[in-house]
Amino acid sequence: MTETLESIAQAMVAPGKGILAADESSGTIKKRFDSIKVESTEDTRRDYREMLFRTDEAMRNHISGVILYDETIRQKAKDGTPLVDLIKKAGAIPGIKVDAGAKDMPGFPGEKITEGLDGLDARLAEYYQLGARFAKWRAVIDIADGIPTRTCLEANAEALARYAALCQQAKIVPIVEPEVLMDGAHDIDRCFEVTEETLRILFDRLGAHRVNLEGTILKPNMVIAGKKCGKQASVEEVAEKTIACFKRTVPAAIPGIVFLSGGQSDEDATAHLNAMNAIGGFPWKMSFSYGRALQAAPLKAWSGKPENVPAGQKAFLHRAKMNGLAALGDWKSALEKAA
């Protein structure tokens, strides 16, 4: 079968499956390893990710794709098999993070602009040769007094659209990730307002750059109160407001929305996704693209010890299975049956 952008995008949001975000930068993975008192070296990073990718039941049944970091897409497993081949063998699609990180936006205190467009076409061509069939670019939108500004939203949307157009030219499906952060003290209604404006501007720019929406995946935040807000919304309210916001802004041509967990607890990220799918009534597949919410438990169970690999894999399978159920809206009923 000929691979097309549309067929890859559809496979990325296959029913009951979601994306494993294993694209932590060197700095981020060091922090994760520090938490389990393991030195972050090329070998330990490889061993940890190899453990996840060799969790056959999780990868085959619940993971549609894996976002990799530049180092990881080039690495080989202990037995010499390229990690990309382990992912493909399990029936999942390899992807790659291509942005160069969010940097301070000159003249706009507290706001960020994501860099990485320079030379991106050449990097995408190489990543395609290395096996990547989708990519990811993250924009970071903070909510605080007087921000985000329209300028920040427009600059980040323009970069996302240029990145998406370059990806599609390279036969790679773009994941566009405009993340409205949940770090502040704002309430859920303020998050709704900022998320709505962010998505309106994003889809305007994607249209201006002639990006094929059927071959694009959206990776947004959920509509949720900031962590420091005294009034946290219920699971049902988060689900209802997120759906309402997306119905206003996201074209039906987008095949799927894969949520980031954005600092939510493992359980909250799963519960919110499940509640949305239980409500239903929207044109897109709603799934997950989780990093920490899939990895925190296996990382802790593994703790860098070879004898703990089975325990790490068991923890990963459990998290992948729970989120796979949530992507179908079946998580809560499965929990009730098990109780």
Question: Taking the chain (339 residues) in consecutive chunks of 10 residues, what is each chunk's mean pLDDT?
Answer: 90 98 94 97 97 98 98 97 98 98 97 98 98 98 97 98 98 98 96 98 98 98 97 97 98 98 92 97 98 95 98 98 97 82
Q: Which of 17, 112, 136, 219 is catalytic?
A: 219
- Residue matched to tokens 């459990």: 318
Cβ neighbors of 111 (< 8 A, separation 6 or more) are: 104, 105, 142, 147, 148, 149, 152
Q: Give the pLDDT of residue 59.
A: 98
Q: Which of 43, 122, 36, 138 is nearest to 83 (CA)?
A: 43
Q: Give the pLDDT of residue 337.
A: 81
Q: Give the pLDDT of residue 161.
A: 98
CA 267 to chain centre: 17
Q: Which of 24, 50, 177, 179 is catalytic?
A: 177
Given a contact cutoff of 8 angstroms between Cβ atoms, the answer to whether 19 and 12 are in contact is yes
Q: Give the pLDDT of residue 310.
A: 98
| Residue 219 a catalytic site member | yes
Q: Give the pLDDT of residue 333.
A: 85
Residue 134's DSSP bridge partners are 95, 173
Q: Give the pLDDT of residue 130.
A: 98
Q: Which of 312, 254, 231, 325 is nearest to 54 (CA)?
A: 312
Q: Give the pLDDT of residue 1.
A: 56
Q: List domains and CATH numbers for the chain.
A: 5-338 (3.20.20.70)
Q: Give the pLDDT of residue 336.
A: 83
